[in-house]
Amino acid sequence: MKSDLTQEQIESYQDNGFVVIDGFLDADELESWRSAVADGVENRGAKKVANREDYPESDEYYSKIFLQRVNLWMDSEPVRKLMLDERLGRMATELTGADGMRIWHDQALIKQAWGNPTAWHLDCPYWSFHHPNAISIWVALDDVTVQNGGLFFLPGSHKDAEFERNVSITDNIGGLFEAYPEWKHREPVAAPMKAGSCSFHSGLTAHGAAANFTPRARRAMTCAYMPDGATYVGKQNVLPSEYFKTLKIGDVLDNDAQNPLLYRRS
Ligand SMILES: O=C(O)CCC(=O)C(=O)O
Ligand SMILES: [Fe+2]
């Protein structure tokens, strides 16, 4: 795993709100990630989010954007081994400048053959904490192109995005630009990746993905990270209902069973 970041990569992440790391996994690691994700998805069955039996059902359009299985680390040993890797936490910490990182949630995102596009959106406003150093890794498990559902980012959008302005991922792919009319004429950047490459994006960077215009699935494994010390803002998102009921706005989200600490600067 290419886990050592250059100063140039860190600066590029901070300026643009995303960075692509080519050749992140070597061929053997890529095989382990593919098989771990296959294990996790199969083992999970139809349930979308671990420890949330009551998670709302998706509508028909959304269910054809991707097969989405969240927090596979909680119920698949092979995924747990990959996701609890301290190096991932260190990369997320170094890119953002945070003091440390916890797992917010992982997710397998498999855009099936002929899958719908992923509408433009911001991630962190959905989550139970709001923090400018929220960040996600997105690992390509297949070669990802503009034909099969490659990602697009709006460079620099993390600098003026707001936690209170966002849209849901629906069939209106440009709905985010109604919330941010000032971004309507900005040029997005496509991020094609070879299998085993990855990107990191800020929880405030506008992004989306193309439709899958191929007869094959586009597999990705992702993980969102929460800066250590982030506090609860009143949204349940993927939190188990039992835990959610105990939280008050402003509480530090430091439950190691739900949000394990991956890395902290010494
Ligand atoms: O894989 C996709 O289609 C979308 C990915 C995404 O929105 C994310 O990783 O935050
Ligand atoms: Fe996203």
- Distance from the CA of 208 to the center of ligand 1, in angstroms? 6
Kindly list the distances between the CA atom of residue 100 and the CA atoms of 72, 91, 137, 225, 240, in Å, as whole numbers in the listed order. 22, 10, 15, 10, 23
Q: What is the DSSP string of 111-131?
A: E-TTPPPEEEE-SGGGSSB--
How high is the mean pLDDT of the chain? 97
- Distance from the CA of 208 to the center of ligand 2, in angstroms? 7
Residue 60 tokens, joined: 């028909």
Quick: pLDDT tens for 219-234. 999 999 999 999 999 9
* Domain residue ranges of the chain, discontinuous segments joined by +: 16-255
CA–CA gap between residue 154 and residue 156 (Å, rounded): 6
CB 70 within 8 A of CB 105: yes
Task: Write down the pLDDT at residue 266.
Answer: 87
Quick: pLDDT tens for 131-173. 999 999 999 999 999 999 999 999 999 999 999 999 999 999 9
Residue 42, amino acid: E
Nearest CA among 266, 220, 199 for reference residue 9: 199
Q: Is the CB of 220 under 6 A from ligand 1?
A: yes
pLDDT at 124 over 90: yes
* Percentage above 90 pLDDT, the chain: 99
Could you tell me the strand order of the sheet in which 118-121 lies?
118-121, 207-209, 151-153, 189-191
Residue 186 tokens, joined: 């900005």
CA–CA gap between residue 113 and residue 64 (Å, rounded): 9
CA–CA gap between residue 20 and residue 12 (Å, rounded): 9
* Percentage above 70 pLDDT, the chain: 100
CATH topology of domain 16-255: Jelly Rolls (2.60.120)
- Protein residue with least CA distance to atom 1, ligand 1: 109
pLDDT at 125 over 90: yes
pLDDT at 85 over 90: yes
Q: Calculate mean pLDDT across residues 56-61.
A: 93
pLDDT at 110 over 90: yes
Quick: pLDDT tens for 7-35. 999 999 999 999 999 999 999 999 999 99
